[in-house]
Amino acid sequence: MAFFVYPMHEMRICLSARGGQNRISNDMKTYNLNRKNCLVIGGAGLLGLEIACQLQSQGANVRILDLVSPVTNGKFDISVGDIRHREDIREACRDIDVVFQTAAAVWDPKTAKRLYEEVNIGGNSKVIDTCIEQGVKRLVFTSTMDVVVDGKKPIKNGDESLGYPKKMPSDHYCRTKIIAEKMVLEANSSKLLTCALRPVGMYGPRDKYHIKNIIEAVNRGLKFKLGNGKAKFSHVYSENAAHAHILAAERLVDGGPVAGNNYFITDGCPSQNLFDFMEPFLLGLGLKPPAKRIPYPLAYILGFINEKLNPCSTFNRFSVVQTCVEHTFLSLKAERDLGYRPIVSTKEAFGKTLSWFAQEYGKKDDR
């Protein structure tokens, strides 16, 4: 597949202030990760591998626990295992100072309810218990913005004052992530300091769900956009989200503001409609973006019908709501407590992500 350069003046470019990325009080107590033993659970994934690489660049000793070994040039201590198995976690947590728990059963209509519960609830419960048992002092948990989404009301510039939905969502991913986040935050104590980060729509190299789903839908002949194009959606680049996790670990100290708290993580850029955000990637890969629109009410009805006829399809009411209902968030609390600022601009993030997808789809075309 050809790699076309999309004109950057057509994109919204948000340049991050690299020099001011850690604006935080000099007298705030922090935890130095240099030479510390860190475990990244889910370290072969989009976010987990970025965390592992950034930790290593800061002088930390990094171990990865995942179902598969990561494809990387980094030199990590690799443990192939499953968080559903206590012994795998126990072995990986041996002599560890900080755990980053990024692993999850992610949203996919083909995934059984049982797997969500075994991984997102049972697995996280085992991680918490094992951290306490092994004397691990810090646990940074990757949650999601979906823990505050009720599937009905739009969220504009949402922050941490938003509570969990009054009625537990029927979607198994959202439901189990809510339960998992609550468990992690309730476990916070002097024995185990915990916090939860809520990345918004994440993208980057190795993205298997966000951009990949749109690319594959267009390759299958997608001709329609959902909604009227007015609904906005917040995004965060994977390296920026990883940076926020490391800042959280450094500031996860007893008596500090981070312990027992949750944080939305965004790129801090103007939000865009999902299809407007995806269009430069599609054009950069030589694909034709969908042009026609299906109104939200009609799309919702069609999604309902399709999920009854084809339960494993990604076109259902959940995906329609996520596309047509505004979900934008602010990361001001993370800026205040973590000193968080994005370290990669949208221009650089676009270039890195597009280059990776061009190589991946080029490989497939060469087979």
Please list the active-site residues: 173
Would you tell me how many other CB atoms lie within 10 Å of the CB of residue 61?
18
Angle at alpha carbon of residue 323, lines to 319 and 324, rounded to 5°: 115
List CB contacts of 305: < 8 A, sequence separation 6 or more. none
Measured distance CA(134)–CA(82) in Å, rounded: 18
Residue 209 in contact with residue 238, Cβ under 8 Å? no
Cα distances (angstroms) measured from residue 6 to each of 210, 276, 347: 19, 13, 11
